[in-house]
Structure 1
Amino acid sequence: MVGVPFIDLAALRVLVVDDEEGPRTLVASVLRDLGIGQVDTAADGQEALERFRSDGVGYGLIICDWMMPRLNGLDLLKRVRETNSDLPFLMVTALATMEAVKKALAHHVSGYIAKPFTPDQLEEKIFLVLVQKGIGDG
């Protein structure tokens, strides 16, 4: 398609964070179907933060649920932004209220998607977030 930047999905490493196994598996499956090179998962925000801190430079995208035990998605976003202000971060939430969206935007979330969503809707959001951050440019 003309005007759409090339994104090397095979070279992309993504971290999927959700405390529920079903949604976490679904998102990881959609990513693998897209041809994403490496998909890592975490069962809560604290586990994700530990993975990010040990190898944060390796991630090209984080897809994270909002409501989780130990460390929620908004708090994870805040921690990620302390060290990486432009890493694409897609928030997944059942809380798509204006107030929740404002909180996420205040901490520079790259995008959000409301549950429930279809694989096609998720793919569209992933591409929008990656393109707006210039992944694959140059």
Structure 2
Amino acid sequence: MLNNRTWLAFANRKRCRHTDAIHYLGFINWRMGRVRFSIGDIVYLFMSDERCVRFKMVVTAENCKREDQSFWVVTPHNEITYKLELLEEYEGTMLSEKELCKYGLKGGRSLEVPNCNNKELIGYIISIF
């Protein structure tokens, strides 16, 4: 049995209205591919428009058909996905980009691929949630 991992992922508002999908559906789909989530992994979403971590999600299924396509700004790829369900939403200011940079957030292109290796940063995010 693998130990579940905790990830930081970038939700790009130019591609999908993730917040609306989470509020309406209670979940989002995440493309399977470059990242290898496992069922039970925790995924914190850094929101591109708000420049902060706002949602704590859990991976509940894999090899799913996309169900959140109506919330996409661009045409989504029709591929198999993970299902990430909402656990908690954070509305404070302690998970802003400025605060996260103090704990190792690099920003820029480093956000493009979900990451589970920055233990200091993820530890800080966990402590706030």
Higher relative contact order (CA 8 A, sep 6+): 2
Q: TM-score, normalised by structure 2?
A: 0.32
TM-score, reference length from structure 1: 0.30
Higher share in strand: 2
